[in-house]
Amino acid sequence: MIGTPQTPPATARALLAEELLAAIKNSSYDSQTLQEIVLVIDHECLCRESQDRFPNLRRPDDISNRAIATSVIGDFAEQLSSCLVHHINASSRLIRELQFRALLSVLALLQLDGVHAVHADVHRKWQTKINNRFRELIWLPGQSPRLSTETFPRVQCAHLISLGAAYYSQQFVPAEPVAARILAIGSNVMQLVVMVANIALV
Amino acid sequence: MDHFDFGHEIDLCQGFGIMGDLGSTLKDLDSNLSGLVQCSNSSNQDLFKLQGLTRIARALHLYSQICIQSAESREGVANPHREALECSKQIALLTLRHILKILNSTINEGFETSVRPPLDLHEQISALFNRGPVKLDRFQYLYGLLDCASQLGCIVGIEEYPNGFAARMRSIIARSGEASFRLKAVSNSSFLYRDKELFSSNFR
């Protein structure tokens, strides 16, 4: 149990969020941990929605205060976009689905917190992580073109990670000028050309 | 992102019963969701908003359920939370009605026979070059609608489901050549068939 019966609701939620974040960081999580993360984050979304519209309105204490700081939400995004499924078994499909759902909720909460841009390096890192999660999903072993027990979880996870990737790319921009982005793309193209030329020469 | 900026503000707080005007809230929501029926292709922003609305409805439902149980166990007054619970159910019901409208719209007629997911080869190439998921297309949009419906189904009672919802799910199950649509429609239908009598009456 987090806190005591006298602990203010917002403090209890903040403590719970930190406990859940620590569980992810320490790799001591299971599907229930991720389910709790989804519930806590969704409740924070509810609090943001009600608070921002009517800041002076009388509301139950449980939803009147923001509990989780933006930095903690950012930490959640960092952890939930990382690889949480290291060993593939029957239970890993549920963990993967819950991870992607939680990531979607966290991104939505960041938006509700007014975050619309992310530091350029962080933006690239998160984008790469999301792309890696998609690649892991596509490269799962034992996938069959015929209908099997793996079909539905795979499609469900593919949908959620696609939604998450689209949401991230459309709602958060990297905090860098357009010229820097063009330069980065140009640099990547040059590297590709050099690589192809090297292969051709060999 | 604007908070559910469909054009008007949606006052979820009114549903807490604090301002006591659930009807006005639902009327606002209804008029704003009507705009979604017209969307012709994969409207990502609309899907994000529906997902957000689903998230809020589920959070409000869970919160009010727990508060009611807590108030009853302490012999307290649960009325404000009952109004919030009713609000969450009405929001879920309204959203389900609009999802059904979108699925039944002319532009989406027979989608279950014509819409296919991205090609496996496309996804494999995208994964190989680490380009991430393919862009959201019509398949993802429609699948997302069904996903929202299955989440909202946890909130709404069997007898409150919109008319025609069960029939539409049966149609998708029977006609869709795409397994993922069928499986999603089955998961939606499982809420409807929890009641054995309803199950048997639908299959006579």
**Rounded Cα gap, residues B188 and B169, in angstroms:** 7
User: Which secondary structure element, helix H or strand E, spans residue A174, and what is its range?
Assistant: strand A173-175
Q: Please give, rounded to a whole number of angstroms, the shortest distance from the CA of B179 to a CA of chain A.
A: 7
**pLDDT score, position A130:** 94
A42 and chain B in contact, CB less than 8 A: yes
**pLDDT score, position B22:** 57
User: DSSP characters for B29-83?
Assistant: HHHHHHGGGG--S--HHHHHHHHHHHHHHHHHHHHHHHHHHHHHHTT---HHHHH
* Mean pLDDT within B147-154: 90
pTM: 0.83
* Interface A:B, Cβ pairs < 8 A: 117
A53 and chain B in contact, CB less than 8 A: yes
Please report the ipTM that was assigned to this predicted complex: 0.83
User: Which secondary structure element, helix H or strand E, spans residue A195, and what is its range?
Assistant: helix A178-201
**Rounded Cα gap, residues B178 and B180, in angstroms:** 6
Q: Please give, rounded to a whole number of angstroms, the shortest distance from the CA of A163 to a CA of chain B.
A: 7
Q: Please give the structure tokens belonging to residue B193.
A: 């068939």
**pLDDT score, position A74:** 93
**pLDDT score, position B5:** 36
CB-based contacts of B19, cutoff 8 Å, min separation 6: A57, B11, B13
CB-based contacts of B121, cutoff 8 Å, min separation 6: none
Residue A162 is nearest to which of B59, B127, B133, comparing CB atoms?
B133
**pLDDT score, position B73:** 72
Residue A167 is nearest to which of B48, B80, B123, comparing CB atoms?
B48
Q: Could you read off the pLDDT of B125-146 as tens digits, one per residue?
A: 898 888 899 888 889 999 999 9
Q: Please give, rounded to a whole number of angstroms, the shortest distance from the CA of A26 to a CA of chain B.
A: 27
Q: Which of A16, A44, A47, A50 to mutate to test the interface with B (most CBs of B within 10 A)?
A: A50
Q: Please give the structure tokens belonging to residue A199.
A: 């292969």
Highest mean pLDDT among A28-37, B4-13, B173-182, B187-196: A28-37
Residue A166 is nearest to which of B60, B63, B136, comparing CB atoms?
B136
User: Which secondary structure element, helix H or strand E, spans residue A117, and what is its range?
Assistant: strand A117-119
**Sign (positive or negative) of CA dihedral A99, A100, A105, A107:** positive
Q: Which of A56, A61, A163 to mutate to test the interface with B (most CBs of B within 10 A)?
A: A163
Residue B127 is nearest to which of A42, A50, A138, comparing CB atoms?
A138
**Rounded Cα gap, residues A96 and A84, in angstroms:** 8
User: DSSP characters for A81-112?
Assistant: TS----S-STTHHHHHHHHHHHHHHHHHHHHH
Residue type, B129: F
Q: Which of A155, A156, A195 to mutate to test the interface with B (most CBs of B within 10 A)?
A: A155
**Rounded Cα gap, residues B52 and A141, in angstroms:** 33
B5 and chain A in contact, CB less than 8 A: no
**Closest Cα to residue B17, out of B77, B95, B97?**
B77
Query: Minimal Cα distance from A171: which residue of B?
Result: B1
Q: Please give, rounded to a whole number of angstroms, the shortest distance from the CA of A13 to a CA of chain B.
A: 13
**CA dihedral of A36, A41, A44, A48, whole degrees rounded to 10:** -160
Q: Please give the structure tokens belonging to residue B39.
A: 């969307």
What is the SS3 assignment for A82?
coil
Residue A46 is nearest to which of B48, B56, B144, comparing CB atoms?
B56
The reply to whether residue B18 touches residue A59, judged by beta carbons under 8 angstroms, is: yes
**Rounded Cα gap, residues A169 and B68, in angstroms:** 40
User: Which secondary structure element, helix H or strand E, spans residue B150, and what is its range?
Assistant: helix B138-152
Largest CA distance in chain B: 61
Q: Please give the structure tokens belonging to residue B199.
A: 């199950």
Q: Are A60 and B60 in contact (CB under 8 A)?
A: no
Q: Could you read off the pLDDT of A89-137 as tens digits, one per residue?
A: 878 888 999 999 999 999 999 998 889 998 989 999 999 999 999 999 9
* Mean pLDDT within B7-29: 48
The reply to whether residue A159 touches residue B144, judged by beta carbons under 8 angstroms, is: yes
Query: Minimal Cα distance from A43: which residue of B?
Result: B59
Q: Which of B28-42, B107-121, B150-164 has the lowest mean pLDDT?
A: B28-42
**pLDDT score, position A59:** 54
**Rounded Cα gap, residues A114 and A2, in angstroms:** 28
**Closest Cα to residue B46, out of B101, B110, B113, B93?**
B101
Question: B120 contacts in A (CB within 8 Å)?
Answer: 145
Query: Minimal Cα distance from A108: which residue of B?
Result: B52
Q: List chain A pLDDT tens, one digit each, 202 residues.
A: 445 556 666 788 888 999 999 999 999 999 999 999 999 999 898 888 776 554 554 555 555 567 888 999 999 999 999 988 888 887 888 899 999 999 999 999 999 888 999 898 999 999 999 999 999 998 888 665 555 666 788 889 999 999 999 999 988 988 888 787 788 778 878 887 888 888 888 7
pLDDT at B182 > cutoff 60: yes
Query: How far, in Å, are A36, A166, B28, B185, B186 from residue B149 at the CA level?
Result: 21, 20, 20, 9, 12
Q: Please give the structure tokens belonging to residue A21.
A: 């974040």
**Sign (positive or negative) of CA dihedral A97, A48, B8, B24:** positive
Residues 155-184 of A with CB under 8 A from B: 155-156, 158-159, 161-163, 165-167, 170-171
The DSSP 8-state label assigned to residue B13 in this structure reads G
**pLDDT score, position B15:** 42
Q: Could you read off the pLDDT of B72-128 as tens digits, one per residue?
A: 777 666 576 787 788 888 889 888 988 998 899 888 888 888 888 888 888 888 988
